[in-house]
């Protein structure tokens, strides 16, 4: 990222190559639609280039990048359930994927971002940095989101 800030355009390509596949999963899970996720990804990488001077080297690059991705995907539409790119671990319940998507979309948008970033493997401190909130607030939102998900999924059973 520092090379990109100094004007090295090849550094942009290197960043894209290294991060795009992983970052793509974030808007895909959030939106549930490949088309909406592709739009969010395109906007994410445009913003990375446009706001390259705002990146602070002392901040973790992945946190900065996921913050941009979260904002770029903010306007993602409701999921197209048939296009959601996730398969349940077993085929016991063919409706599990759709039920999870519906449950995710009953969450407040910020709670949904929190739970999806946690699923991506970020800590509550890192999620707090990305979403500009305290780690305790992240944990509270995560607890509430999990309870809501459990409730919604139990209604389906």
CA dist., res. 27 & res. 69, Å (int): 7
Mean pLDDT of the chain: 82
Q: Are 70 and 113 in contact (CB under 8 A)?
A: yes
- CATH code assigned to 86-157: 1.10.10.10
Residue 31 has what pLDDT? 65
Q: pLDDT tier at 88 (50, 70, 90 boundaries)?
A: low
Residue 121 has what pLDDT? 77
Architecture of domain 1-79: Orthogonal Bundle (1.10)
pLDDT for 89-136, tens place per residue? 555 566 777 788 888 888 888 898 888 888 877 788 888 888 888 999
CA dist., res. 48 & res. 59, Å (int): 14
The half-sphere exposure of 137 on its side-chain side, counting CA atoms within 13 A, is 11
Whole-angstrom distance between the N-terminal and C-terminal Cα of the chain? Answer: 47
Length of the chain equals 157
Residue 69: name the closest of 105, 20, 111 by CA. 20
Q: pLDDT tier at 14 (50, 70, 90 boundaries)?
A: very high
Radius of gyration of the chain (CA): 17
Q: pLDDT tier at 13 (50, 70, 90 boundaries)?
A: very high
Residue 17 has what pLDDT? 95
Give the residue, 13 or 98, on which the prediction is more confident: 13
Q: Do domains 1-79 and 86-157 have the same CATH topology?
A: no
Residue 81 has what pLDDT? 43
Q: Does the predicted model carry a pTM greater than 0.85?
A: no
Q: Where are the domains of the chain?
A: 1-79, 86-157
Residue 150 has pLDDT above 50, yes or no: yes
């Amino acid at each position: 990222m520092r090379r990109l800030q100094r004007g090295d355009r090849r550094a942009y390509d290197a960043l894209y190559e290294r991060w795009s596949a992983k970052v793509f999963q974030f808007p895909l899970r959030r939106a549930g639609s490949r088309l909406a996720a592709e739009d969010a990804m395109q906007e994410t990488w445009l913003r990375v280039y446009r706001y390259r001077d705002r990146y602070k080297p002392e901040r973790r690059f992945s946190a900065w990048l996921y913050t941009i991705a979260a904002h770029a995907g903010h306007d993602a539409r409701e999921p197209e359930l048939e296009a959601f790119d996730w398969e349940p671990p077993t085929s016991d319940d063919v409706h599990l994927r759709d039920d999870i998507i519906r449950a995710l979309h009953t969450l407040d948008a910020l709670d949904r971002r929190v739970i999806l970033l946690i699923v991506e493997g970020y800590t509550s401190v890192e999620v707090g940095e990305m979403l500009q909130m305290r780690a305790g607030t992240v944990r509270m939102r995560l607890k509430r989101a999990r309870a809501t998900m459990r409730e919604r999924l139990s209604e389906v059973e």
